[in-house]
Amino acid sequence: MSSFDRLSTLDIAADVAAGVRSAAEIAREALARVAAYEAVQPQVWIARLSPDQVTAQAEAVDRRIAAGERLPLAGAPFAVKDNLDVAGLPTTAACPAFAYRPEATGPVVQRLLDAGAVLVGKTNLDQFATGLVGARSPYGACGCVYDRKFISGGSSSGSAVAVAAGLVAFALGTDTAGSGRVPAAFNHLVGLKPTKGRWSTRGLVPACRTLDCITVFTSSTREAAAIDEVVAGFDVADPYSRRPPSEGGAPLPDRFRFALPRPEQLEWFSDAQSARLFQGAVARLQAMGGLAVEIDIRTLLAAGDLLYQGPWVAERTAAVYDLLRERPSAIHPVVRQILEGGLRATAVEAFQAEYRLRDHQRDSEQLWEIADVLLLPTAATIYRIREVLAEPLALNANLGRYTNFVNLLDMSAIALPAGFRDNGTGFGVTLIGPAWADRRLLALARRYEEIAPMPEPPPLDLSGAPQSVKLAVVGAHLAAMPLHWQLTSRDAKLVRRCTTAPVYRLYAMANATPPKPALVHAGAGAPIEVEVYELATEAFGSFVAEVPPPLAIGTVTLEDGTEVKGFVAEPRALEGAEDITALGGWRAYIAREQARA
């Protein structure tokens, strides 16, 4: 068995309940997997519980099982996207300047813990859940587990990778425009996006609060159904929680109708392999007893356009308005560009767009009169990380073509694997139903999964990093600082946060724009906070070429005695500079200056 074979939530829970394995044993195995994968994609995680904390959770589960409790998720290790609150861990939404420590754990996470699941940590995401690429984070860009040159999909990037790489059994994501579905497609996962309000969103940093859903990534539909059974339910303290209709949703009959777009409306962005794989999924549904019905999806696409091209972007702006107004440089440049667009939306435009959306909603209701379910590609194609960094908005829009409208039109959805491209990246399809069709979709998805074997996934991309250089940064290149983009645009990967050896002094240079520090080897000094990044050799060379005097790149000794490349300073950098060594790092200096302003 490979160290990174997928973990099964249900198999783990059954083994723990039967005493075949203990939750503590499984926790130790998960921790070993996380440690081993650290060398491949350290950027999967933003925060993790300590090994002792994870093991203590698992031991508590073992005691509950021994006392006779029935725990449907006993011992299953899981992760949560870092825009969901967990007491004791910071919530960052992938923006260090936004971080806060919640006093309470969100109800969905708490229900999982109560059911015996074991939390490992919090995962990376496109900052403020704004994006479908997984490359808009100061903590690094996550890559598809089968070929890391390609995007993992976002915004729930770290959660999808953690499940697909076999680090945890399941993981929570969120979905406003497709973030719980696109990463599922690229990494050969099931992604369940419930009806809005079916799962409580209390404890979630909002992207668009009226549209947001918490979602789950699993390796099978049975696992997704088990998670839904645990966490679904009305939450009186959540103003967006909804009570389901009393009639519920009966399973579809053996013969059912599924809608799909007219051929001329299927845009593949020149990806012929995706088109071929989609036809395979159509044939799969037909083999299940489905009758294909072609429909006009123009109203769905027009509704989806409202999400970013209409005033709904202002709802994203509202979620982080104070930070955008007071510290715009702390926000990722692409995310900031999107959020600033919301400042220009007017109330009149918002109402006009609402009226258009109501028209689209009424038009889309006719779909359920002629079909039981809608089948769409989850995403038409996939891109390399370097491609989305070079063209972030247009390519992101392409990825959302078949996902953006779903929450706006109050639909439920489940994303399913549908094969692999020649490059090894996953292709997926989504079954979409009206609101509260969740269980019906889960039952149909299980039939889809069981009618014929799915192709075996390719091996994980565990190749060593390309020839690379480790670089310590100390000032304006730190995460969320003004020049950090010079690292992210070169696919730099965060390796560690630490301090230097206690032989350096730190100075705030005079008249530097943006403000910059000078790190000087002084023999007698103090530990200075740094972040260490890994860059491909070619990228490092282009980075060095942009470093202006009086700064330069030299060698910096870290706290453990290892040496990496890092910023050093010429003597003239100290002219008029302030010695800020006692503050211990540049972030403390910036915080002090902001407090004085």
Q: In angstroms, rounded to a whole number, what is the distance separating the alpha carbons of residues 208 and 418?
A: 29
Kindly provide the residue ranges of all beta strands, DSSP E only, lying in 176-289, ordered along the sequence.
190-193, 213-218, 256-261
Q: Please name every residue paired with 45 in a beta bridge, in sequence order, or none if there are none.
A: 123
The residues near 420 (Cβ < 8 Å, ≥ 6 apart) are 146, 188, 277, 426, 427, 455, 457, 458
Contact 168, 162 (CB under 8 A): yes
Nearest to 469, CA basis, from 551, 555, 383, 363: 555
Collapsing DSSP to helix, strand or coil, 267 comes out as: coil
Q: In angstroms, rounded to a whole number, what is the distance separating the alpha carbons of residues 493 and 466?
A: 12
Active site residue 468: no
Which residue, chain included where needed, has tokens 């709802």? 315
Residue 145 structure tokens: 């587990």
From residue 272, alpha-carbon distances to 148, 323, 429 in Å are: 21, 43, 15
DSSP classification of residue 251: P
Other C-beta atoms within 10 Å of 442: how many? 24
Q: In angstroms, rounded to a whole number, what is the distance separating the alpha carbons of residues 160 and 78?
A: 11
Nearest to 458, CA basis, from 73, 186, 230: 186
Contacts 24+ apart (CB under 8 A), 67-72: 69/116, 70/17, 71/13, 71/16, 71/17, 71/115, 71/116, 72/13, 72/115, 72/116, 72/226, 72/229, 72/230
Which residue, chain included where needed, has tokens 């979409």? 432
Q: 552: part of which helix (H) or strand (E)?
A: strand 551-557
Query: What is the CA 200 to chain-centroid distance, rounded?
Result: 19
Residue 351 structure tokens: 């109402």
Q: In angstroms, rounded to a whole number, what is the distance separating the alpha carbons of residues 565 and 249?
A: 60
Q: In angstroms, rounded to a whole number, what is the distance separating the alpha carbons of residues 115 and 230?
A: 7
Nearest to 101, CA basis, from 122, 71, 119, 72: 122
Other C-beta atoms within 10 Å of 480: how many? 21
Q: Alpha-carbon dihedral of residues 350, 356, 362, 366, nearest 10 degrees?
A: -130
Q: In angstroms, rounded to a whole number, what is the distance separating the alpha carbons of residues 353 and 313?
A: 12
Among the listed residues 155, 156, 157, 159, the single catalytic one is: 155
Active site residue 179: yes
Among the listed residues 8, 22, 152, 179, the single catalytic one is: 179
Among the listed residues 8, 22, 81, 193, the single catalytic one is: 81
Q: In angstroms, rounded to a whole number, what is the distance separating the alpha carbons of residues 293 and 275?
A: 18
Q: Alpha-carbon dihedral of residues 96, 98, 99, 100, nearest 10 degrees?
A: 170
Residues belonging to the chain: 597
Active site residue 200: no
Residues classed as catalytic: 81, 155, 179
